[in-house]
Structure 1
């Protein structure tokens, strides 16, 4: 048996992973569930934990901040997240594996089997290169993934990032405007998506707006700098972000002409 804790700020994500592990991984004993990094640290101090299923984007402290605690407790880490943009950082942190939400049952089983084999070794560092090789291979299989999962009250909505025209801030919520004219509201702040989406394609042009440059039709300074998008919407560019926006446009147009 291997002792496992689940760390995720979303109730649906915690309960669904708990159910998947209970139903499909007989050698797993779940000894705790945490909603934050601080709660996870408490669990690590109370239990001998072999494996941590760890979300990355959480309020307060993100999942990477738990890595030193995991190492000091000789616990392996599997990142569980809706965003594949974290892949490189996951590799650098020497995580055992990286699972993209919604979690596939077969991938989960493979990860638990890998963890079971690895935990059987006493010398963690001697097997570090093998772990990194396995993780790199696992991530390379997902290198073509260009989707993100947006949490909702029932689970997740999976969308391609190229479907996003722009994202609008609404207090502590983010509203996704999609090319089919649908709107999806997510209970996460805009800054999280600014950090997660590819910066060569998505640009923060205002404190309340991120635009997808693929949908940019024109930008002008008739009424202060503003952009016109393919869906007909006009969005203001703040003075503070104007210089960065123009630099991003130069890079984007240069990249597009080379393709």
Structure 2
């Protein structure tokens, strides 16, 4: 066989409509049943989350980055090692970003200082957050970060059109895709709705906690994802 690289792109969907998930399920089934497809370690899933024509405000992007910075290690437990350690296509926010470079000294990252840097930004363009997530690896120009801030020059400076999540492995397993899509959208909904005055103390209390002290099911529950808090630990145990 001669294998060719392909990219499959869906149309935009409204998250609240279950028809979207039904269509994704059908596409996964058709691809598996009709074609000889290899979802190897070179493949990934990119989930773009938007807010219609409104975009996301400065505060929503700030809340999102602060939350991901705080709980990246917990989120990593969802993914296989080859996605966690992928420096080229989805490098870690805590290990391979401009923000981590800024707050590292002699190989040690000050995670609390990084969180405070995010939270201290006030009323600036969302471009400041794109700078923070800029990858700082040898392959930085070949791929991107796990979190891609897609900023359009046509938008006003304080508006973020979409956020793209890149960490998930390539898969035609609808169950895996559904969990990750729901996580990405609900995380963005959380960031867009939470009062920063309530979020900041919560993140400060947990930013230096290990996965053992603060497991992923606790994080998902506190982020308003009880169903995922139930499903993901079971999936993680099965994958091991």
| TM-score bin (small chain) | under 0.3
The structure with more helix, counted as a fraction of residues: 2
Q: Calculate the TM-score normalised by the size of structure 2.
A: 0.26
The structure with more strand, counted as a fraction of residues: 1
Q: Calculate the TM-score normalised by the size of structure 1.
A: 0.25
**More RCO (CA 8 Å, sep 6+):** 2
